[in-house]
Each structure stands twice: as C-alpha cells, then as structure tokens.
Amino acid sequence: MTSRRRRFGLVIFAAVLAAATFSASTGASMTVRFKGPFTLAEFVQVDQTGCVVTDVVSTGASGRQSASGEGTSSFKEVDAFVSIINTCDPGAENTFLVCTSFPSTSANMTVDQRLTRGTASGTMTCTDLDSGATCQMEQSETLTGVGEVRTEQSHFHDRSGDVMVNSVFRGRTRDAQVTDATVSGCGISMTEDDAVFGELESTSSLLVQVQHP
C-alpha cells in the first residue's frame, strides 16, 4: 500500500505542476525538472451509511524548477486530489477534484534535511473534473518522520484523456505520521484523525512530460 499511495501522490503532483507550467507555454509538450523537499498525506472518511468514501491525497513542495522554454525559478506549492465515491451505487454520480495553490503566493511548506518534520499549508482552488465548477479548500498539515530514511528511484507513466505524464523520481523518502492536520472546504472536513498515510521526501530530480495530441 505504501508504494501505491506514494506513486499515486507523485503522479498527481507531477500532473498538476506540469499542467500549471504548461498553461503559460505555447508548445505541445513540456519537460519539468524539480529539486527540493516534498510532503505527502492521505486522508479517508466514510459516511454513516458506509457507502460514500471521501479520499484526499494532499501534497506540498518547495524548491526550484526548470521547464523547457520557461527558465528556472523558485517554487512553493500545495496541491490535492479529492475523490468522493459511492461504493454502494454503481450509477451514482461521483466527484473528482484537482486542487492547487498555483500561483503559489498562498502556500507555505518546510521539510528539514533529515526528514524528521515537515509542514505544508495554503489555500487551494479546486476544480471539478466533470463540471469544471470551482471551490476553495484550506490545507494545513504537520508530519513527523518515523522509521528509516530510504534512497529510492522509480519511474511511472500515467495518461488521463489527452494528457500523458512520464516521470522519473530520484531522492530520499521517509514514512511519516500526520500529527496535526486540517483540510476543509468544498464540503470536506478532515483532521489528523482521518489520516491513513504520510511521507516526507527530498527529491533530486522529477522529470515530467505532458503531451497534447
């Protein structure tokens, strides 16, 4: 489960980051290189019926990025992906939100070099992937590293509609406990009691390519 959630979180972060950068570009594809610390937390709630499951994967990042045609710049952002699914009714209308603080004036994020503690907070604009409707969500999280620091390298590929993401991750990771958290807005209210996973990371490179056929 750890590797699945970690991969899922990085795919979300890579897609949001690349899409935000891509919006300012006139090209049909873009490669983004990112270097810096990264936080990942997942929250899950089940309603009283036991049918409606709300899952929030939130991230924070701070460092430097370079993008083809865009140069190099400092970077700080919080993002989230929200899914609200009715597991009892296959015909029910489910909700999927992509949230980002881009531009990053409202984001704050820190991780120490030893991956012992990390914080991420900010105001995000969330977009419904089906309707295009938007809403605002607040994120504030504190994560405490547990266990050993690992050095990892991985590659993943993901495609959604006309957007394709290829990413290579190299860096250090450490499992983390979400010791304090508030994720609220868009009809969602989560705290550290709803956290099911946390991780602190320090990436040496994250390469993303987005293509629109």
List pLDDT tens digits, range 168-210: 878 899 999 999 999 999 999 999 999 999 999 988 776 776 6
**Distance of alpha carbon 14 from alpha carbon 81, whole angstroms:** 12
Q: Which pLDDT score is estimated for 204?
A: 75
Q: Which pLDDT score is estimated for 26?
A: 44
Our count of domains for the chain comes to: 1
Res. 123 pLDDT band, cuts 50 70 90: very high
Res. 24 pLDDT band, cuts 50 70 90: very low
Mean pLDDT of the chain: 82
Q: Which pLDDT score is estimated for 105?
A: 65
Query: Is 27 or 54 the better-scoring residue by pLDDT?
Result: 54
The domain in which residue 158 lies consists of: 2-211
Closest CA to 207 of 63, 67, 27: 67
* Arithmetic mean of pLDDT, 78-107: 87
Given a cut of 70, whether residue 152 has pLDDT beyond it is yes
What is the model's pTM? 0.82
